[in-house]
Amino acid sequence: MAIQGNNREVSSTCISKITSDIGEPEKGQGYRVEVVVRYIGAQKYLKNCSSDTIISTLNDSDTDSLFAIIDVYVKYKDILHKNIGTYYEYRIPWQTYHKRSIQKI
């Protein structure tokens, strides 16, 4: 929804990353969410995007397509390791779930 609500021609930028914390993930009491967006599509829609967000451009003038590859990462620290003391509390490794989708814009 953030991608569709972003006018790439007016704002001169494409959305490339969205991050947010829910709770206190560093302490094992929440989640860290990171969304990475890359684009495939007609060059006329990607002219204001930075090169690191573009996977491929389509130069065919008859092509009027734009797609987004969206990688969602949800990270958390396993609460079972929280009781080993405050010194080690921040050394708990991150557990990560990843989902990739391709969506037509």
CB neighbours of 87 closer than 8 A, spacing ≥ 6? Answer: none
Residue boundaries of the structural domains of the chain: 2-104
- Which one has a higher pLDDT value, 78 or 3? 78
What per-residue confidence (pLDDT) applies to 42? 80
Is the confidence at residue 69, as pLDDT, over 70?
Answer: yes
Query: Checking DSSP bridges between strand 66-77 and strand 29-42, what pairing results, if any?
Result: antiparallel
Helix (H) or strand (E) holding 70: strand 66-77
Backbone angles phi, psi at 36, to 5 degrees: -115, 130
- Global confidence as pTM: 0.76
Average pLDDT over residues 23-29: 86
